[in-house]
Amino acid sequence: MFDWLSIMNPMGGQPPLRVLLRCQLTSCSTPLSSESFIVRVLLNAFLCGYLCAVAANTAVASEPPRPTPLIFDTDIGNDCDDVLALGMIHALQSRGDCELLAVTITKDHELAAPFTDAVNTFYGRGHIPIGVCDSGVTPDAGRFNALARVEENGRLRYPHDLNSGEQAFAAVDLLRKTLAAAEDGSVSIAQVGFSTNLANLLESPADEHSSLPGRELVKKKVRLLSVMAGTFVPDKNRQAGLYNIVKDLPAAQKVVDSWPTPIVWSGYEIGKAVAYPHESVEEDYNYVEHHPLAEAYVRFSPPPHNRPTWDLTSVLYAVYPQRGYFDLSPAGQVTLAEDGFASFEPAEGGRDRFLQLNEVQAARVVESLVQLASQPPCTSGKEE
């Protein structure tokens, strides 16, 4: 006798897959012909493989733990969207939707960590650990990291404890310590800068934090990697979306080749489609005399410039993958060309997907990003 097993694809967009299973209703002692045995083995193998692929894809779009354990890996100082994204994370944590476990930095300048600490302290979370790299990549101060040293009446405008990146943790050590302490399969990472830290993490050996080498530790602990890089729509400008890749191309290649958990890419085209309105910078941050997000934005590119929200979109998806702010491409595989250009090939059960956006979603995303980034601290400057 035959029965049907109908499996709905939880990602949507595809009709149910009907798998014909042969059900053996007679006694287990009834001998099977060699042909029947082979058919059953093949069907079982097919079904097992399909369900594994569905499970992996579901992990990408299903609701993450609440609050979502989040690591923010950033090149803060190279663009103001990193700062807006960090402020947004604090708002999400105040709402109980994420917990910022650590910030790791891929901009190699001594003021990147102090400025990050200043933003965290502004939101009442100066205790959040910060890790830095020693890569030589983008070693300039940038246009706003020097805000960490601005004084008024002999006091720092934005108080913080870290005076230099030399006082911060080593990024890979912090990543290993943070992941080792996390629940299995729980952590989301938003990588919005270069791949330096995550590539080094993959190659890290066992240490006092974990007996697992880097790739195995990532595989055990990380639920999702949300990356801002590349472009996944036709663009006459082949350089679009390359910055975060080419600044450390060997590291980007390492992550693309070896990362063991699902990756969702937010391409250049996504952040460009949902620019941050300059009116918000001019009007929504005036609840304090000095605001690090607004000052960083103005120092980087003064209004009336509407800055694309590249990094914010990666954070939004990492914390709210289930809310329909974005659509997802089919599963597939991202590869990098020698010049850093990212290409995507659909492949059943593939590790990679990229964000897609329609006009209705774009309006929702802009509104959400503005409300989150401009949300005042809920702690009145006190540590949580």
CA distance 228 to 233: 14
pLDDT at 383: 55
Q: Are residues 233 and 269 in the same domain?
A: yes
Same domain, yes or no: 196 and 95: yes
pLDDT tens digits, 231-250: 999 876 767 779 999 999 99
Do 205 and 261 share a domain, yes or no?
yes
The pLDDT of residue 42:
42
The pTM for the full model equals 0.84
- For residues 115 and 145, the answer to whether their CB atoms sit within 8 Å is yes
Residue where a domain stops, chosen among 27, 58, 89:
58
Pairing of strands 327-328, 332-336: unpaired
Residue 265 CA to residue 318 CA, distance in Å, equals: 11
Sign, CA torsion 57/58/63/64: negative
- Is 381 contained in some domain? no
Specify the pLDDT at position 317: 98
With contact defined as beta carbons under 8 Å apart, do 187 and 71 qualify? yes
Distance CA 335, CA 321 (A): 23
Do 83 and 23 sit in the same domain of this protein? no
The predicted model gives 71-79 an average pLDDT of: 98
- Asked if residues 259 and 349 have their Cβ atoms less than 8 Å apart, the reply is no
Summarize pLDDT for 253-292 with one digit per residue, the tens. Answer: 999 999 999 999 999 999 999 999 999 999 999 999 999 9
Q: Is 158 exposed, middle or buried (0-12, 13-18, 19+ CB in 10 A)?
A: buried
Q: Are residues 295 and 364 in the same domain?
A: yes
- What is the domain range of residue 31? 2-58
- Who contacts 208 (Cβ-Cβ below 8 Å, separation ≥6)? none
Domain membership flag for residue 9: yes
CATH number at residue 367: 3.90.245.10
pLDDT for the residue 114:
98
The reply to whether 384 falls in a domain is no
Is residue 312 a contact partner of residue 85, using CB atoms and an 8 Å limit?
yes
**pLDDT given at position 22:** 29
Q: What angle do CA 9, 260, 240 make, to 5 degrees?
A: 85
Domain count, the chain: 2
- Taking only the tens place, the pLDDT of each residue in 344-373 is 999 999 999 999 999 999 999 999 999 999
Pairing, β 155-156 against β 169-170: unpaired
Question: Do 45 and 192 sit in the same domain of this protein?
Answer: no
Whether 351 contacts 262, CB under 8 Å: yes
* Model confidence band, residue 64 (pLDDT cutoffs 50, 70, 90): confident
In sequence order, what E strands does the chain have?
A: 2-7, 17-22, 68-74, 98-105, 130-132, 151-152, 155-156, 169-170, 187-191, 222-228, 263-266, 327-328, 332-336, 342-346, 352-356
Chain-centroid distance of CA 313 in Å reads 9
